[in-house]
């Protein structure tokens, strides 16, 4: 066998493979002999079928199969030994009237080569790195929610402006019959508030659904209907009152602190507020990190310029999927995939240049830490090391889990790299302003 490479341009090459009969004939003959031993053909005893008949019936198929295996194995070896960085797989060139009976077989394969390029993590304009803080208003609101959540309900003889009213919504035509509890502070409609004020258990009031709540997403849950049915709903519903209660906020005392944070972890309102701020900002960090990953990814794609073997990739996409695509379909598929492909190449270069390749020990430790955090949520705060090893081994025996954890760990390693090396500009914002800036 002889393999040679013809360089067409920096991104395209052709591999020429020449096979002689000696390269494959021995394997073909061995397989045909096995076929002969086991062939059941009417008119012949098992194992006594003439070899000429076996060759006529199976010879060409066995030859093609063995040559293809030989080509695949040797092409992979050649690409590895020559350290060729290819995109996709070698694509066989069409050869009309190919003669499989010739003593010498010649094949050609098109290659799409990965481009050579440089990646810079220091663009002139700094990439925003959001530091999300929990401001006083957010902490005040959280304290109010906690006091309300752990407060006690005091029965009221009639509905007051700050009451929680339990009752049933009904509209027979709209198939609504749902018991719920209304927090009057969440009502937007002044007419609804006026209609409910002063009512007692057993009274029924008629309310309009349109504009009933300050936040529209509350309507489907309150009425017990699907979200899509609640969109734009503008009908009247009857609400029959069963009871009205006033929630007295819980006192900020040691009993509440222990209930929230564990015994003797927090001892004052100030410590409680500091703890809320710390926990909130730790949660915000995940959102800030994801935003940073997305922004750096976009900047790298935008600023890292290189050409791709576009025509080869279109042809490869056209011919190697589950079904053969038309030229137009392949063009559309390439356009959809191009951005992701460019980032894969950029990411691969960063991983190689900065030594970020995953090691099994790293993945195992990452899996164990993930398992440890999951167990802690269920009260198992001090698992044995051998138990963690056993669970991690079972998790890592699942290829889907390996892929998921590998992607998470690589994202973390890239994030750490960006924080250390990239040109970042820290931007301190409240959570509300972060949401406005990121999501509009």
| Mean pLDDT across the chain | 93
Q: Which of 209, 203, 227 is nearest to 171 (CA)?
A: 209
Pick among 3.30.70.1050, 3.40.50.720, 3.40.190.10, 3.40.190.290: CATH of 2-113: 3.30.70.1050
- pLDDT for position 37: 86
- pLDDT for position 119: 95
What is the domain partition of the chain in residue ranges?
A: 2-113, 152-248, 267-439
Residue 91 banded pLDDT, cuts 50, 70, 90:
very high
Is the confidence at residue 74, as pLDDT, over 90? Answer: yes
Is the confidence at residue 71, as pLDDT, over 80? Answer: yes
Is the confidence at residue 129, as pLDDT, over 90? Answer: yes
Query: How far apart are alpha carbons 189 and 170 in whole angstroms?
Result: 18
- pLDDT for position 376: 85
- pLDDT for position 95: 85
Residues 6+ apart with CB under 8 A from 202: 240, 241
Q: Is 129 helix (H, G, I), strand (E, B) or coil?
A: strand
Q: Are strands 236-248 and 164-171 parallel, antiparallel or unpaired?
A: antiparallel
Query: How far apart are alpha carbons 280 and 344 in whole angstroms?
Result: 34
**Beta bridge partners of residue 87, listed in sequence order:** 112
- pLDDT for position 268: 96
Convert the pLDDT of each residue in 147-178 to its tens digit: 999 999 999 999 998 899 999 999 999 999 99
Residue 131 banded pLDDT, cuts 50, 70, 90:
very high
Largest Cα–Cα distance in the chain? 104
Per-residue pLDDT averaged across 141-146, rounded? 94
Residue 420 banded pLDDT, cuts 50, 70, 90:
very high
Is the confidence at residue 277, as pLDDT, over 90? Answer: yes
Q: Is 107 helix (H, G, I), strand (E, B) or coil?
A: strand
Q: Which CATH class is domain 267-439?
A: mainly alpha
What is the CATH T-level fold of the domain 152-248, as seen in this structure? Chitinase A; domain 3 (3.10.50)
- pLDDT for position 96: 84
Query: How far apart are alpha carbons 255 and 323 in whole angstroms?
Result: 66
- pLDDT for position 31: 93
Query: What is the 3-state composition of the chain as percent helix, strand, coil, each rounded to the nearest 5?
Result: 50, 20, 30
H-helix or E-strand containing 87? Answer: strand 86-92
Convert the pLDDT of each residue in 179-230 to its tens digit: 999 999 999 999 999 999 999 999 999 999 999 999 999 999 999 999 999 9
Query: How far apart are alpha carbons 323 and 316 in whole angstroms?
Result: 12
- pLDDT for position 439: 81
- pLDDT for position 317: 94
Question: Does the model's pTM come out above 0.85?
Answer: no
Q: Are strands 424-430 and 127-133 parallel, antiparallel or unpaired?
A: parallel
- pLDDT for position 417: 97
Exposed / middle / buried, residue 159 (Cβ in 10 Å: 0-12, 13-18, 19+): buried
Residue 162: both structure tokens together = 């700050």
Per-residue pLDDT averaged across 42-56, rounded? 85
Residue 266: both structure tokens together = 């927090």
């Amino acid at each position: 066998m002889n393999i040679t490479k013809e360089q067409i341009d920096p991104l395209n090459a052709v591999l020429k493979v020449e096979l002689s009969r000696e390269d494959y004939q021995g394997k073909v003959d061995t397989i045909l002999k096995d076929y002969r031993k086991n062939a059941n053909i009417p008119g012949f005893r098992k194992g006594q079928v003439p070899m000429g008949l076996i060759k006529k019936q199976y010879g060409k198929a066995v030859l093609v199969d063995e040559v293809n295996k030989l080509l695949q194995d040797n092409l992979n070896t050649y690409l590895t030994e020559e350290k060729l960085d290819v995109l996709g797989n070698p694509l066989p060139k069409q050869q009309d009237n190919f003669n499989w009976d010739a003593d010498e077989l010649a094949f050609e394969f098109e290659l799409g080569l990965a481009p050579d390029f440089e990646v810079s993590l220091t663009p002139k304009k700094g990439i925003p790195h959001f530091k999300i803080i929990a401001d006083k208003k957010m902490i005040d609101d959280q304290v109010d929610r906690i006091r309300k959540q752990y407060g006690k309900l005091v029965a009221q003889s009639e509905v007051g402006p700050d009451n929680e009213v339990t009752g049933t919504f009904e509209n027979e035509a709209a198939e609504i019959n749902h018991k719920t509890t209304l927090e009057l502070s969440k009502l937007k409609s002044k007419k609804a508030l006026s209609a409910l004020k002063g009512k007692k258990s057993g009274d029924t009031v008629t309310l309009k659904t349109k504009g009933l709540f300050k936040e529209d997403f509350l309507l489907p849950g309150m009425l017990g209907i699907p979200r899509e049915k609640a969109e734009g709903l503008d009908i009247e519903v009857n609400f029959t009152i069963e009871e009205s209660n006033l929630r007295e906020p819980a006192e900020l005392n040691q009993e509440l602190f222990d209930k929230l944070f564990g015994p003797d972890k927090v001892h004052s309102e100030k410590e409680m507020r500091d703890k809320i701020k710390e926990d909130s900002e730790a949660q915000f960090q995940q959102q800030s990190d994801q935003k940073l990953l997305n922004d750096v990814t976009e900047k790298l794609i935008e600023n890292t310029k290189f050409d791709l073997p576009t025509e080869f990739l279109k042809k490869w996409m056209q011919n190697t999927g589950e079904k053969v695509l038309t030229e137009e379909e392949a063009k559309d598929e390439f356009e959809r995939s191009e951005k992701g492909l460019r980032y894969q190449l950029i990411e691969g270069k960063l991983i190689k240049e900065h030594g970020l390749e995953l090691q099994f020990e790293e993945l195992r430790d990452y899996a164990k830490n993930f398992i440890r955090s999951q167990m802690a949520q269920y009260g198992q705060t001090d698992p044995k090391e051998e138990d963690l090893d056993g669970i991690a081994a079972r998790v890592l025996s699942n290829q889907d889990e390996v892929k998921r954890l590998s992607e998470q760990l690589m994202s973390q390693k890239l994030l750490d790299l960006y924080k250390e090396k990239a040109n970042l500009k820290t931007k301190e914002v409240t959570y509300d302003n972060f949401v406005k800036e990121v999501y509009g």
